[in-house]
Amino acid sequence: MDEGSIEQRSNIAPSPSSGLTFPSTTMTSHVQQTGTYQRRFEIVWKKLQLTRDERVNIAMKYGGDGFNARLSESVAAWEKVCEFILKREKLLHELELFEREASDPKRLLQKGSSVNRLKEAKQRSKLYKKLQNVDDIIYPLLHNIEKRFTDVVSFKGRPYMDKMEYDKVEMLYWLQQERRCHALSNNGQHEQLACFASDNYFNPQVTIPQLNQRCPDSQN
């Protein structure tokens, strides 16, 4: 189904910012309220980097009679969880930067490494505790949105409930693969580093088994 037919069937008119709006109405006050909710939704969409299809589906859903009356509640719920998702993503980035340096085995050979490892262990524990605290806030918010509005909140096209379950392990795996591929590249196997870069940066949805199939030598 093309976008034109979607917009025609759902009475969605183009919007200057996102190309989507909720259905229009002859009631001026209701139009103004709907426009306000739409703009707030668009801000959330942008922050969470929702795909075009996800935005279309949300616009169609809340344009219907069954959900239009709950638009204000839904927008507020999305805004709240978006705030904590962005906080969590920032913490996850901090953890990745920390682990990229702290988990490098070469650092074990440095002078005073035992003292540094104790400091790093405390810092790692602190970061994981912060992440867990945010997780404890996000999980019930996601469950509430799914239960009350049947919405699945995503980030960069990935359901966030799923991302939270696996992203810390995935991050550590990618860092390990990055070091292995750099080592192989230094030994003349440059194609392994190219394979890693392609999967990690251009197709982040590639799963660990898929990477193993495409780069079997990276496990050696």
Secondary structure (DSSP) of 106-169: GGGGSTTHHHHHHHHHHHHHHHHHHHHHHHHHHHHHHHHHHHHH----EETTEEHHHHHHHHHH
CA distance 167 to 204: 11
Please check whether residue 32 is in contact with residue 24, taking contact to mean a CB–CB distance below 8 angstroms: no
Kindly state the tokens that stand for 67: 């959900």
List per-residue pLDDT tens for the chain, 220 residues long.
444 433 444 444 444 445 565 555 444 555 566 778 889 999 999 999 999 999 999 988 887 777 777 889 999 999 999 999 999 999 999 999 998 888 766 666 666 567 777 888 899 999 999 999 999 999 999 999 999 999 999 999 999 999 999 999 999 888 888 777 766 666 665 565 556 555 554 344 434 434 444 444 444 4
Of 187, 189, 212, 188, nearest in space to 199 by CA: 212
Structure letter (DSSP) for residue 19: S
Ramachandran angles phi, psi of 154, nearest 5° = -125, 165
pLDDT at 158: 96
Kindly state the tokens that stand for 28: 């001026």
